């Protein structure tokens, strides 16, 4: 039986006995059209290429491939101890789970290895795959921090410097997207919805002579709280560095847990 989700992606599934040709075609189609499926398959590749799975038996690797593949195909009802035993471990169709603990032992080992992987090599991965105790149906978690960055408001009395507002918003979104497990999107305005990004950043730009001030407010839409308010000041020539400072402040807040009370302070960029 072939290796699950190897470097060649879904194509490696063609060697798997537990997926028929229709299932393989369906999964390949999903990989091409559904970003979540594509990201999950890449996550499987990362897991199986890690040191924690480098020397495990092929059945262990295929165990992960089987449950994830069936999950992505929407066939959770087929993820049972007996189906794992027959299709992955080559047990006979009359496999009796009451007489054999082989699959339960293998599942415990898989859970343990996944836990160790995410505590070490995979701690910065954008996705996380968990096989909860008591079931073989995996949970696929999106660990990315989603942030909507609105177009900054122009607080200049004459209404000029609009270009700086766009520059700041675009640069902050760009800087955030360079960070591990962060997904930032520039939007015209923020809309707090239960299905949208978890966090929203709004701000304003003020200019006075050669100086510029950025006022920012970061909200946790899911919790309905403001978790960061900050003002950054510097020379207008340093607008890119100021924008990078905003991204850094956001990341520091999120890493600290983003408590319910906002942090309010002013930072000088020189």
Give the pLDDT band (50/70/90) at residue 269: low
Q: Are residues 94 and 158 in the same domain?
A: no
Give the mean pLDDT of 2-25: 59
| CA pair distance 68, 127, nearest whole angstrom | 13
Give the mean pLDDT of 70-95: 93
pLDDT of residue 182: 85
Q: Are residues 98 and 196 in the same domain?
A: no
Range of the domain at 22: 9-142
Q: Are residues 62 and 81 in the same domain?
A: yes
| CA pair distance 241, 269, nearest whole angstrom | 8
H or E stretch including 227? Answer: strand 225-235
pTM of the entire structure? 0.62
Q: Are residues 132 and 158 in the same domain?
A: no
List Cβ neighbours of 53 (8 Å cut-off, separation of 6 or more): 47, 60, 61, 113, 117
Residue 2 within any structural domain of the chain: no
Q: Residue 232: is its pLDDT beyond 50? A: yes
Give pLDDT tens digits for 84-137: 999 999 999 999 989 999 999 999 999 999 999 999 999 888 889 999 999 999
Burial of residue 78, with CB atoms counted within 10 A of its CB: 0-12 exposed, 13-18 middle, 19 or more buried? middle
Give pLDDT tens digits for 212-221: 999 999 999 8
Q: Are residues 110 and 27 in the same domain?
A: yes
Q: Are residues 192 and 245 in the same domain?
A: yes
Residue 42 within any structural domain of the chain: yes
Residue 89 within any structural domain of the chain: yes
| CA pair distance 218, 244, nearest whole angstrom | 15
Q: Are residues 126 and 250 in the same domain?
A: no
Q: Are residues 204 and 153 in the same domain?
A: yes
Q: Residue 75: is its pLDDT beyond 80? A: yes
């Amino acid at each position: 039986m072939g290796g699950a989700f190897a470097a060649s992606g879904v194509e490696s599934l063609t060697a798997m006995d537990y997926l028929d040709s229709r299932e393989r075609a369906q999964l390949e189609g999903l990989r091409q059209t559904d970003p979540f499926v594509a990201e999950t398959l890449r996550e499987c590749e990362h897991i199986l290429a890690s040191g924690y799975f480098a020397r495990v038996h092929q059945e262990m690797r295929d165990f992960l491939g089987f449950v994830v593949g069936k999950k992505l195909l929407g066939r959770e009802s087929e993820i049972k101890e007996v189906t794992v035993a027959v299709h992955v471990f080559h047990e006979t169709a009359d496999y009796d789970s009451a007489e054999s603990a082989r699959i339960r032992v293998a599942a415990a080992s898989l859970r343990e290895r996944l836990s160790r992987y995410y505590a070490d090599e995979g701690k910065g991965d954008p996705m996380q795959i968990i096989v909860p105790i008591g079931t073989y149906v995996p949970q696929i978690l999106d660990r990315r921090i989603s942030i909507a960055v609105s177009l900054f408001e122009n607080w200049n009395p004459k209404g000029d410097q609009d270009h700086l507002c766009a520059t700041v918003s675009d640069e902050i979104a760009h800087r955030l997207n360079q960070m591990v497990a962060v997904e930032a999107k520039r939007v015209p305005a923020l809309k707090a919805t239960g299905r949208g990004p978890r966090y929203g950043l709004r701000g304003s730009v003020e200019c006075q002579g050669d100086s510029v001030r950025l006022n920012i407010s970061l909200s946790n839409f899911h919790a309905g709280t403001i978790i960061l308010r900050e003002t950054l000041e510097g020379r207008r020539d340093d607008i890119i560095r100021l924008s990078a400072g905003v991204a850094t402040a956001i990341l520091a807040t999120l890493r600290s847990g983003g408590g319910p009370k906002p942090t309010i302070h002013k930072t000088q960029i020189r």
